[in-house]
Structures are given as C-alpha cells and as structure tokens.
C-alpha cells in the first residue's frame, strides 16, 4: 500500500513534533501579564528569565515542573557572564541599582555592579565588584547570549 504524499508529509511532521511536545515542559508564568525581557540558557542546563516590570527587572529561574522561581529584583540587568578569567568567577550577573542622591533624584549613570546570579539580595553592599561599562566587562568575561 502506498501512502499519498500529503499524508506522508503530515505523518512525518506528527512524528517529529509530538515527541518534542511530550518532553518539553511548558513555562508556567507566575501571572498573566508577565513581560519577558530576555531568556538565558546556562551551561549547566538551567534557564534564566529576566522580566521587565514597571520598576526594574526581576530575575527568575525555570525549575523542573516548568514554574518560575524568583531569584531577585534589580533596577537593570546588563548581562549574565559564563565566566570571568581574572577571579575565576562563573555564572555572575551584571546589574545596575537605582541609586538615590541624599537630597533627592537618582544617578542616571549608576555603575554596573557584579553579583552571584543566585544572590537573593543583590544590593550595593553585596557586590563582588563593579565595571565602568559593559565594553570593559567584555574584555574580561565571556557572556551568555539571550535565546
């Protein structure tokens, strides 16, 4: 018995797509209007989501059941580095914090600070260091590209 060409094509597509959907775990966003800014796949297989909110970026990790677990919140995520050679740092995040002046206002050009990706409170006093800009950081570190 010969299978018609269009049926053969549909069968091929079905056999490719169905296994992918069976093993893929859908992302369960914590709320309806979740605004994804970037997604990173780390070398260890973990997936990091950067959410854009009205007051900054929230950093989330996708866990095994497809849900997102909140890691931390910062003003701005500049990137996630695989490694930085000078101090043997791995999976670190480059962020800017909203820094307020004593008598009001904010520093629009706040320095970019370096933190462990899984630091739940990445504030100025927990920083591993800082860089003047991302061009400088790229001289020392290898960065993940958003997917």
Judge contact between 94 and 114, C-beta under 8 A. yes
Residue 53 has pLDDT above 50, yes or no: yes
The whole-number average pLDDT for the span 45-70 is 96
User: Quick one: pLDDT at residue 12?
Assistant: 52
User: Quick one: pLDDT at residue 2?
Assistant: 60
**DSSP per residue over 6-23, as a string?**
HHHHHHHHHHHHHHHHHH
pTM: 0.79
User: Quick one: pLDDT at residue 48?
Assistant: 98
The whole-number average pLDDT for the span 9-25 is 46
């Amino acid at each position: 018995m010969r299978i018609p060409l269009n049926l053969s094509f549909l069968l091929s597509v079905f056999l490719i797509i169905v296994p992918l959907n069976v093993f893929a775990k859908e992302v369960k966003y914590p709320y309806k209007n979740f605004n994804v800014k970037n997604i990173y796949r780390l070398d260890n297989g973990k997936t990091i989501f950067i959410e854009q909110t009205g007051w900054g970026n929230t950093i989330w990790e996708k866990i095994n059941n497809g849900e997102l677990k909140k890691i931390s919140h910062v003003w701005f995520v500049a990137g996630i580095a695989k490694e930085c050679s000078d101090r043997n740092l791995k999976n670190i995040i480059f962020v800017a914090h909203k820094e307020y002046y004593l008598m009001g206002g904010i520093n629009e050009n706040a320095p970019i600070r370096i933190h462990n990706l899984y630091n739940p409170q990445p504030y100025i006093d927990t920083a591993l260091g800082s860089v003047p800009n991302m061009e400088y950081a790229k001289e020392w570190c290898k960065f993940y590209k958003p997917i």
